Amino acid sequence: MTGTMPVSRAWIAVWRRNYLVWRKLAAESVLGDIVDPLFYLAGFGIGLGALLPEVQGVRYVAYLAGGTLCYSTMMAASFEALYSGFTRMHVQRTWESILNAPVSLEDVVLAEWIWAASKSFLSGMAVLLVAVALGLARSWTMAFVVPVAFLIGLCFSGLGLLVTSAAKSYDFFIYWFTLAITPMMLLGGVFYPVTGMPGWVQLLAQVLPLTHGVALARPLLLGRWPDAPLAHVAVLLGYALAAMALALRIFRRRLAS
């Protein structure tokens, strides 16, 4: 009986709603997705590349490409799940109108999760495109970066929705960006390896999900096979599922009051 199932195909209609909004500004959005990492890689690659000719056996700009891909995906997922998600849930009351249709809260939350992951996936793919165009990624192993980017998207969309579920206003998101996103950017291995840092920093880095995304994407982009790939996948997936399970509980309580 479909009536008792929490998730139905209706989630696709909700995903398509967000897609239709995105499509209206798709040209600008894709342009930003491509130009932003292009400048990033060119600027840091040329600037820092002059000081650091090689990192872990590759040119600095090639080293940076994998980190940038993960970082861009994380940021896109976070902005969508936090600011846009909160707007749809709270400010515009879009969820409220959807829930009056034969759509469950589980459908809506699933759609938001997959949507934010999809949008961030596109950002990740734009970086991949730039990396290929700049000749930074040449090996067939980069094909695996495609599912990895989507997984990173799912992870940070899930965490982002968890933050949104507890948010009273947009101001609340500063905590997430300051206390989670910034440390991840600095300790997740985006710009430099953490292997040379003190032991406790390395331990902390291992707890951060971005570290595991970078540990997968960077070697794959450089034509190497990551160490312990399944462990990294498990961490990203674990964060994603745990965050979503908790977010859904909070959303249920929030929307039933």
Partner 1 sequence: MTILAARAVRKSYGGREVVAGLDLALARGECFGLLGPNGAGKTTTLRMLLGLVPPGGGDIALLGHPVPREAREARRRVGVVPQADNLDPEFTVRENLLVYGRYFGLAPALLARRIPELLEFAALEARADSRIEELSGGMKRRLVLARALVNDPDLLFLDEPTTGLDPQARHLLWERLRLLLHQGKTILLTTHFMDEAERLCDRLMIIDQGRPIAEGSPRELIARHIEPEVVEVYGEGAGAWLAANGPACCARSELHGETAFCYVHDPGPAMQSLRGAARVRFVHRPANLEDVFLKLTGREMRE
Q: How many residues of this chain bind partner 1 (CB under 8 A)?
A: 29
Cβ distance to partner 1 smaller for residue 54 or 96: 96
Q: Which helix or strand (DSSP H or E) is residue 209 part of?
A: helix 209-221
Q: Does 28 bind partner 1 (CB under 8 A)?
A: no
- Nearest Cα to Cα of residue 163 among 88, 79, 99: 79
Q: Does 110 bind partner 1 (CB under 8 A)?
A: no
Tell me, residue by residue from 58 to 97, as one string, x for binding to partner 1 by CB under 8 A and - for no binding. ----------------------------------xxx-xx
CB of 256 to partner 1, least distance (A): 5
Contact range with partner 1 by CB under 8 A, out of 16-24, 125-133, 221-229, 236-244: 16-24
Q: Which helix or strand (DSSP H or E) is residue 58 part of?
A: strand 58-59
Three-point CA angle 219, 81, 217, nearest 5°: 5
Q: Does 202 bind partner 1 (CB under 8 A)?
A: no
Contact residue for partner 1 among 35, 101, 231, 245 (CB under 8 A): 101
Per this entry, what is the length of the chain?
257
Contact residue for partner 1 among 74, 81, 82, 103 (CB under 8 A): 103
- 82-111: burial string, b at 16+ Cβ within 10 Å, e else: bbbbbebbbeeebbeebeeeebbbbbbbbb
